[in-house]
Amino acid sequence: MTLERAANKNDIETLETLLDSGIFMQLDSFSMRKQLTPWLFEVATSHGAESVANAAYGALTGLLSTGGSADRNFLHLATIARTLAALGAKTGVLASLGSGIDFPATDPPVFDRIEREKRVWRLVELIRAFAKSNRIVPTDTPPLTTLMLLISLDHSTSPALKRSLLETIMALINKPFASVADEIPICQAILRVASSLSLSQRLSMLNSFPRAGVPCSRMARWIAYGLLTDGTLTHVTKDEYLQPPPLIRVLTMLLDTSERALFDVIPPETDFEALLERIDILSVVLTDVQSYVDREAPATPKGEDEEPDMELLEMIGNRLQSLHGKIHDTRAAYLDRTRVKDAMQRLRMRILYQRKSALQSRPKIKLNGEQQSRPQAK
């Protein structure tokens, strides 16, 4: 085969000509497409000649645009992991994402930052193209999503590449025929890897996760909840997952004053930088105030001198106010304390006003045969 000979001889000109010719779109053999897919992927992301790599990238995206629903020339996690290892990624991290991945024993070549970014960008763009055409192995979606987040954490990842990673994560989550049942394994995979990261890295990973759309925002809330509870959501059922994270557990964490408390303030022992990061994570857990208000029971009429029962959201707001009052930052001399107080106050006020707005938008109810509005938030 001319292509095989050109590849073996590394004939740049012939390779580029063949890859640009569009012959791959004319292939009728599924087995040949299946063989060519990983090869084209590796050439597009690893070939030394940029012109050949770009031509392979174009040929592979063209190949993805052809073939019926039964023509599933899948891209596998092992192929992606080996390509990243060749670009210098740590094989230990890659191996933790899936079993049965063999890596070459040779040391990877050394690339400068710009060249490596070009290759990683092509890899990320191709993964997105495979996801959109539903050619990602379903069981590979959780580790691939986690892998995209890990790449975004790398200090050498540029803002442009981070945007591409964000779009690819969304494509993996919203791929054709995706369902709620597919979201839980992705959350679990992310939390398993996050358990070995520092708190600041966990927050960075969470901030790199998309929030647009119902599936992504729901996943972000549960991932944030898992980060605070050190859980992997192993025992969360589909029905539980469709509900917002439980407020009672959030309130329990805020009220905890033990030595292992996450939010208690005990100057001067308190690590305010870590506390700020936990507040930021908690803010993601509590993004959907409307859903909590929807689950609040209608207020029961009380006597004139009786206060209505306090809801969990109100208790959380009061606890944040109490913690806020325990932090002393005289004349803003301690900027870390000031930042924590500001974050607590912003979160408390957001919960307060979003709850009030949600209550005001509730439909009117009939009480004793008369049309009345539901009680307003305090």
* Model pLDDT for residues 180-224, shown as the tens digit of each residue: 889 999 999 999 999 889 999 999 999 999 999 999 999 999 999
355 lies in some domain: yes
Domain that holds residue 327: 244-300+307-378
Which contacts of 81-90 are long-range, i.e. CB under 8 A and separated by 24 or more positions? 81/147, 82/42, 83/41, 83/42, 83/45, 83/46, 83/123, 84/120, 84/123, 84/147, 86/46, 87/45, 87/46, 87/111, 87/116, 87/119, 87/120, 87/123, 88/116
Give percent above pLDDT 70 in the chain: 78
In a domain, 54, yes or no: no
pTM: 0.86
| Least confident piece of the model among 66-75, 98-107, 214-223 | 66-75
Confidence at 24, pLDDT banded by 50, 70, 90: low
Q: Residue 7: inside a domain, yes or no? A: no
Residue with tokens 């940029």: 50
Q: Which residues, other chains included, contact 161 with Cβ-Cβ below 8 Å and sequence gap of 6+?
A: 117, 120, 121, 124, 151, 152
Cβ-count burial of 275 within 10 angstroms (0-12 exposed, 13-18 middle, 19+ buried)?
buried
From the list 103, 74, 78, 75, the residue with the least C-alpha distance to 88 is: 103
Contact 175, 132 (CB under 8 A): yes
Number of alpha carbons in the 13 Å side-chain half-sphere of residue 362: 25
Can you give the pLDDT at residue 108? 66
CA distance 355 to 313: 8
Asked if residue 4 is part of any domain, the answer here is no
Looking at per-residue confidence, does 84 or 224 come out higher?
A: 224
pLDDT at 253 over 80: yes
84 inside domain? no
More confident residue, 278 or 37: 278
Asked whether residue 318 is assigned to any structural domain, the reply reads yes
Q: What average pLDDT is seen over the chain?
A: 83
What 3 state SS string does the chain have? CHHHHHHHHCCHHHHHHHHHCCHHHHCCCHHHHHHHHHHHHHHHHHCCCHHHHHHHHHHHHHHHCCCCCCCCCCECHHHHHHHHHHCCCCHHHHHCCCCCCCCCCCCCCCCCHHHHHHHHHHHHHHHHHHHHCCCECHHHHHHHHHHHHHHHHCCCCCHHHHHHHHHHHHHHHCCCCCCHHHHHHHHHHHHHHHCCCCHHHHHHHHHCCCCCCHHHHHHHHHHHHHHHHCCCCCCCCHHHHCCCCCHHHHHHHHHCCCCCCCCCCCCCCCCHHHHHHHHHHHHHHCCCHHHHHHCCCCCCCCCCCCCCCCCHHHHHHHHHHHHHHCCCCHHHCCHHHHHHHHHHHHHHHHHHHHHHHHHHCCCCEEECCEEECCCCCC
Residue 281 pLDDT greater than 70, yes or no: yes
CB atoms within 10 A of CB 53: 21
* pLDDT above 80 (res 145): yes
Is the separation of the CB atoms in 151 and 157 below 8 Å?
A: yes
| pLDDT of amino acid 69 | 46
Q: Is residue 311 part of a domain?
A: yes
372 in any annotated domain:
yes
Q: Name the band, by pLDDT with cuts 50, 70 and 90, for residue 318.
A: very high
**The dihedral sign for the CA sequence 152, 185, 172, 103:** positive
- What percent of the chain has pLDDT above 90? 42
- Range ranked top by mean pLDDT from 50-64, 226-240, 331-345: 226-240
Please tell me the total count of domains within the chain.
1
